[in-house]
Amino acid sequence: MLSKDAAQAILDQAELVCSAAEVAAAVARIAAEVNARLADSQPLVLAVMGGAVVFAGHLLPQLSFPLEFDYLHASRYRGQTRGGALTWLVEPRTELAGRTLLVLDDILDEGITLAAIREGLLERGAAAVYTAVLVEKELGREKPVAADFVGLTLPDRYLFGCGMDAYGAWRNLPAIYALK
């Protein structure tokens, strides 16, 4: 865990990439797109812990149809800096068979984790899996999955805020920052 001073130093030296107003506008646009596309499906919405909690908290009140909510926690990192095989730390408790799912995540980086989550949910019987991400990083190469709904497309930098952390801190920021 970072000390308070170390966490503050990270923020003080960071560059603002998207203001809270820009983030809110992106979430509102995603909500409108999801409302138009999934309103008749009564989906099960799954937040990917822990990064998607902020995004989910802002998006869900803007969805104008009945839905169920659950979460999952899957990781390829498990305390490491390089990803390995996907491990399901917490699986959804809600029955998935035959359901339309909307998976919410904070960021689509390389896409390996989100692709594995999508495949795992389909293997567990989901009829359809849609994905919504607050941020997609521009990497300049193909990814194994494309999100159905993307809020912001941002450069390939170390981003934090709005659910994304900087060394464990600052997920709670309403704007998005990048390390310099």
> Backbone phi, then psi, for 3, in 5-degree steps?
-70, 165
pLDDT score of 180: 87
pTM of the model: 0.93
172 in any annotated domain = no
24 in any annotated domain = yes
Q: Tell me the longest C-alpha to C-alpha distance in the chain.
A: 49
Q: How many domains does the chain have?
A: 1
CA distance 137 to 150: 10
Q: What is the CATH number of the domain that holds 72?
A: 3.40.50.2020
165 in any annotated domain = no
Helices 20-38 & 52-59 angle (0-180, nearest 10): 70
Domain that holds residue 96: 20-159
3 in any annotated domain = no
What are the average pLDDT values for consecutive 10-residue runs of the chain, which has 180 residues?
94 98 98 97 96 97 97 74 75 95 96 94 97 95 95 96 94 96
Partnered with residue 149 across adjacent β-strands are: 132
Asked if 107 and 48 touch (Cβ cutoff 8 Å), the reply is no
Give the Å distances, CA to CA, from 109 to 8, 11, 75, 97, 135.
Answer: 25, 21, 14, 28, 8
Q: Count of H helices and E strands in the chain? A: 4, 9
In total, the chain counts a number of residues equal to: 180
